[in-house]
Structure 1
Amino acid sequence: MSEALLRASGLHLAFGGVRAADGIDLDVMRGEFLAIIGPNGAGKTTFINMTTGYLKPHAGEIAYEGRRITGLSPRAIVRLGIARSFQLPQLFLEHTVEQNVALAVASREGIWSPLVPLLRPGYREEARDILDRFGLSAIADTRADALNEGARKLADIAMAVALKPRLLLMDEPTSGVAASEKMAIVETLVTVLRDAKVTAVFVEHDMDVVERFADRVAVWSQGRIAALGPPAEVLADPAVQREVIGIERHAATPEAPHA
């Protein structure tokens, strides 16, 4: 992992008086799995939105494979090889899982019609292959609105993989997923992405997931990167334990019943 696939330099973005990005410098190395952690409002999703063209920084630039991509549209960025999944899965709920992935395959080829991908066997065959890799073949014919949250998350990421990215950014891939399913879901998506040689950046609140699957961890705090390094080193930092891990654990602890 000696070569930077993505390089963010001096990113600044403010919403009113809130600094969502306050001088972000970050290299994402080719082939790595980089976890982004931090309290709510720290600027984690803002970074993903800037990288994928949904927001434009007020200052600084983002380069992908040495090419400046700052200010490009989301569609143009996808064509360069960057895809994303969302905290809330972006599925066509009235379509089956296979149809959703077939639509993503067709969009990669520049076809945006809602009907053509559903009629061409080639797109559906590729969709079936992708679903098989994700272990979703059994629900290929299930409508998206009938899926549980874990299956929706995997289907959303399968759609992103259908775009054949070299870099995938995932915003909280385990949020809303039952605790008993989290590790298996992340194990599946990490296996698929590594097999496809896809570099991944993922925002995550579950420290067990981060510790097990991340190659490096970047800690966001008030629009800045407060720490960056291997999971064992970063998660052992007292400041990270107090300001990030402590916050998340407190947020996950149910309130005691009132006397």
Structure 2
Amino acid sequence: MPETPLILQTVDLTKLFGMVMAANAINVEIRAGELVGIVGANGSGKTTFLNLITGYLTPDRGRILLLEKDRTGLPPREVTRLGIARSFQIPQLYTNLSVLDSLLLSLAARADKGTGFWRPLYQQPWVDEGLETLKRFGLEAYAHRLASDLPEGGRKLLDIALSLALRPKLLLMDEPTSGVSIKDKFQVMDTLIKVVEETRLTTVFVEHDMEVVQRYGRRVLAFDNGRVIADGTPNAVLADPEVRKAVLGRV
């Protein structure tokens, strides 16, 4: 049986900040349909890894292959055009726009068309798709309210909905439960993972909450000092003595 296509591959990916090795010869393969969690202590290289993939940082050495083609050094805009979407720890929202209008802008961007007098934002197919997307994320009640009115969990969901509106081939999420209350974090993740699995979207998420990683990751990478020190199932990785020492501070 043939292997599923490679969506992302890094080859000896390396990044230095002065004397600090933020990415140390990272070799990772992510295949279509995978749901991968990344864990590591602060400063272990998790966010640097995402920044390298998405073009916010340029590697000092190594290569980044997206959809099996070398895309090393591409700027963020070009990476996005290739179908790589990213959400951040702090949601990047149009807080002065309604929730629906925010989503319509993403749909217009996907169509690679601007808006204006001759191409209004409110085109019925976009509105229909926007409302359906909000329903999928449980945000339909906020459609005509400002994005700034959303609770923190809702902001996280909208941020990721904006990314999914682009119909990406790979979604990268940086700490999707960061800033979300303890009582809401699992509801947020349940919604996200349901959408990801329904759309069969290849997804990588960085997360500091080990309970979230163990519950939702299908595969886990553990980072320490810019290296991948473990790669496997959540139970196997989180039980690894080296991971427990590096990430949890105990064996």
- Confirm or deny that 1:76 pairs with 2:72: no
Looking at structure 1, the residues matched to 3 and 239 of structure 2 have their Cα atoms a distance apart, in angstroms, of: 25
Tell me how far apart the structure 2 counterparts of residues 128 and 113 of structure 1 sit (CA, whole Å). 19
Residue in 2 aligned with 1:10? 12
| TM-score of the pair, normalised by structure 2 | 0.93
Question: In the superposition, relative to structure 1, how do residues 76 and 212 fare at CA in structure 2: closer, same or farther (>3 Å)?
Answer: same
CA RMSD of aligned residues (A): 1.7
Aligned to 1:50: 52
Structure 2 residue identity aligned to 1:15: F
| TM-superposed deviation, 1:67 | 0.9
Partner AA of 2:82 in structure 1:
L
Q: Partner letter of residue 230 of structure 2?
A: A
Where does structure 1 lack aligned partners over 5 or more consecutive residues?
A: 248-259
Corresponding position: 1:177 with 2:172: no
**Structure 2 partner of 1:66:** 68
Code of the aligned partner of 1:118: L
Q: Which of 93, 99, 104 matches 1:91?
A: 93
How far apart are 1:118 and its partner, in Å? 3.2
Of the structure 1 ranges 123-132 and 195-204, higher mean CA displacement relative to structure 2 is found in 123-132
Which amino acid in 1 is paired with 2:219?
A: R
Letter in 2 for 1:35: G
Deviates more, 1:97-106 or 1:122-131: 122-131
Give 1:164's aligned residue. 167
- 2:140 partner letter: S
User: Mean alpha-carbon deviation: is it higher for 118-127 or for 78-87?
Assistant: 118-127
Amino acid at match of 1:42: S
Alignment of 1:190-201 (within 5 A): 190-201=193-204
Q: CA deviation at 1:55?
A: 1.1
Instruction: Report the 3-state secondary structure (helix = DSSP H, G, I; strand = E; otherwise coil) of the residue aligned with 2:191.
Output: helix
2:42 is matched with which residue: 17, 40, 58? Answer: 40
Identity %: 45
* 1:253 aligned residue: none
**CA distance in 2 between partners of 1:62 and 1:76 (Å):** 14
TM-score (norm 1): 0.91
Picking from 20, 23, 31, the partner of 1:21 is: 23
Cα pair 1:11 1:61 within 8 Å, conserved:
yes
